[in-house]
Amino acid sequence: MSDPIRRLADIPRVQAASFGARTAVEIEDRRLSYAELDARARRAAGLLAAQGVRPGQRIAWLGRSSEAFFEIFFGAALARVCLAPINSRLAIPEIAFILKDSGAELFFVTPEFFAAAEQVVQQVDRPIGLIGVGGHCAGFESYEALRDAAPEPPPSEPRAEDDVLQLYTSGTTGLPKGVRLNNANYTAFLDLRTQVEGFDYGPDDTVLIVMPLFHVAGTNISFSGLAAGGRVILLPEFRPAEVLRLIEQERVAHVFLVPAMINMLLQAPEIATADLSSLKTIAYGASPIGEAVLAQAKARFGCGFIQFYGMTESTGAGTYLPPAAHEGELLRSCGKPWPTIEVKILRDDGSNAEVGEIGEIAMRCELVMAGYWNRPEATAETVTPQGWLRTGDAGYRDAEGYFFVHDRVKDMIVSGGENVYPAEVENAIMGAPGVADVAVIGVPDERWGEAVKAIVVPAPGARPEPEAIIAWARARIAGFKAPKSVDFIEALPRNASGKVLRRELRKPYWEGRQRMVG
């Protein structure tokens, strides 16, 4: 019999028929059954219709992880509306840019971000409906009241081309880009999830979500758990002791972590006595992992480890390294492609590289994004006319078909699983007192994989303090993007056309390492 779940919007209805009273989403002391999720999603769709939001339009979310996120997401999918979750770690100007760029009609906000949302909408030159989720504030309508009073939504059949999720990534130019993921992308994802270890959950499995829901790993792991009829537990904030407690007390079977989180769990005092016997898999990704950390984690957690390599632009899919391959030289590999996904290595001229030859990793599949929102030129630079997604990562393939990430073609830095583009940080630093020129690079960091470092050329006669430069940047961009350290240099190395030679700046910090990424 074919799977009755073909679209993400099908999940609440299908699972309510099979597992109505079973817990779908749990957070702190609140539990939402599949029957309640189905009913509330339909009400949320009615709310959007009553507010005049039409198919194809965007709504935005700013908040901590919440069961209401799934009510609103599935409601939006039913109404053929696209949800754009915003990274809650961003600075006010960055959030305002995304809100303006998305064209969102409604802004759903949890209480922790009411004050930030009020500042944000003052920077947007059009009216936006503020809706408070899980709390009350003057100027915000109550989501719960609007939802409960909403009429049944008008009949609407989701279409393959409907965008359902718009996730924003940092941009090479300093401006975030909205990645459009549609129903066709997620139909392909749902088809593949049972064929890929790390997503093939069962109805009796408990899945712990510690990744934020503005990140493709947070949404995908959640969707997989719900599509399986399992129980999804949300932890709004990563706290090592709480993660270990939940694994033990709730008998968690699956969790996705970035390498920095795995390292923090291993260093937590509670790890010595934690009962981790319920774990079946720990999936990890978003940045490479140190082999010593991985070996220690395998020994202590005693479950299967699965590495995922992908991008938001590929709906998070790409390659994976299953537990059986976690040994020897393959510990440095990001694995083999998912079924149906083509992956190859490209030379600079676009031709295919040979085995062992370093080039840019590219992939082609039905999971490649519909494009960047209102960015046709950026889309054309990233996705070829033949449908190949250029990842910006340099790597190679061995004779057995395993892929290895070696470096980055682009200048992106990955710190604790978050992408940071140097241009964005440099734009924030330029203008700081005493700064004549600046280049930003990623340097090795034992905790975060890579740390952001600013290389500054002081203005003539100036002696700027590193702390002042860092504070200047933090006032303008998210804290995780701001430099963690500042070095000074007389002049930046540049090529004949004036481009900064970042690789030359990075070289001394990465000397003696097998990979040029952290």
Report which residue type is found at 69.
F
DSSP string of 17-80?
HHHTTSEEEEETTEEEEHHHHHHHHHHHHHHHHHTTPPTT-EEEEESS--HHHHHHHHHHHHTT
pLDDT digits (tens, 9 = 90+) for 229-245: 999 999 999 999 999 99
What distances in angstroms separate CA 258 from CA 241, 336, 465, one per listed residue? 16, 19, 33
Residue 392 region by backbone torsions, left for phi larger than 0, else alpha for psi between -120 and 50, else beta: left
**Domain extent at residue 456:** 414-510
Q: Which among 154, 172, 188 is the end of a domain?
A: 188
pLDDT digits (tens, 9 = 90+) for 329-349: 898 899 999 999 999 999 988
Q: What is the pLDDT of residue 73?
A: 98
CATH number at residue 128: 3.40.50.980
CATH number at residue 455: 3.30.300.30
Q: Which among 188, 220, 255 is the end of a domain?
A: 188
Q: What is the pLDDT of residue 504?
A: 87
How many angstroms separate the most distant Cα atoms in the chain? 76
Task: Report yes or no on 230 lying in a domain.
Answer: no
Q: What contacts 237, CB < 8 A, 6 or more positions away?
A: 64
Q: Where are the beta strands (DSSP E) in 336-481?
A: 336-337, 342-346, 359-364, 371-372, 389-397, 403-408, 413-415, 418-420, 435-445, 449-458
Task: Report yes or no on 166 lying in a domain.
Answer: yes
| Element of type H or E holding 50 | helix 34-50
Q: How far apart are CA 282 and CA 293, in angstroms?
A: 14
DSSP state of 500: B
Dihedral sign of CA atoms 208, 214, 215, 217 in order: positive
Tokens of 44: 């949320």
Q: What is the pLDDT of residue 448?
A: 87
Q: How many domains, the chain? A: 2
Q: Please list the rounded mean pLDDT of every run of 10 residues in the chain (518 residues).
A: 82 96 96 98 97 96 97 97 96 95 97 97 94 96 97 87 94 80 97 90 96 95 97 96 98 93 92 97 84 87 95 96 91 93 94 93 97 96 95 93 84 83 84 90 89 93 94 92 94 76 87 75
Q: What contacts 471, CB < 8 A, 6 or more positions away?
A: none
Q: How far apart are CA 494 and CA 356, in angstroms?
A: 30
Task: Report yes or no on 34 lying in a domain.
Answer: yes
Tokens of 371: 């494009």
Report which residue type is found at 483.
P
Q: What is the pLDDT of residue 1?
A: 47
Q: Which among 169, 188, 207 is the end of a domain?
A: 188
Q: What is the pLDDT of residue 171?
A: 63
Q: What is the pLDDT of residue 120?
A: 97
| Residue pointed to by tokens 């493709």 | 216
DSSP string of 123-176?
TSSS--EEEESSS--TT-EEHHHHHHHPPPPPP----TT-EEEEEEE--TTSS-
Whether residue 205 contacts residue 199, with contact meaning beta carbons closer than 8 Å, is answered with no
Tokens of 359: 């080039």
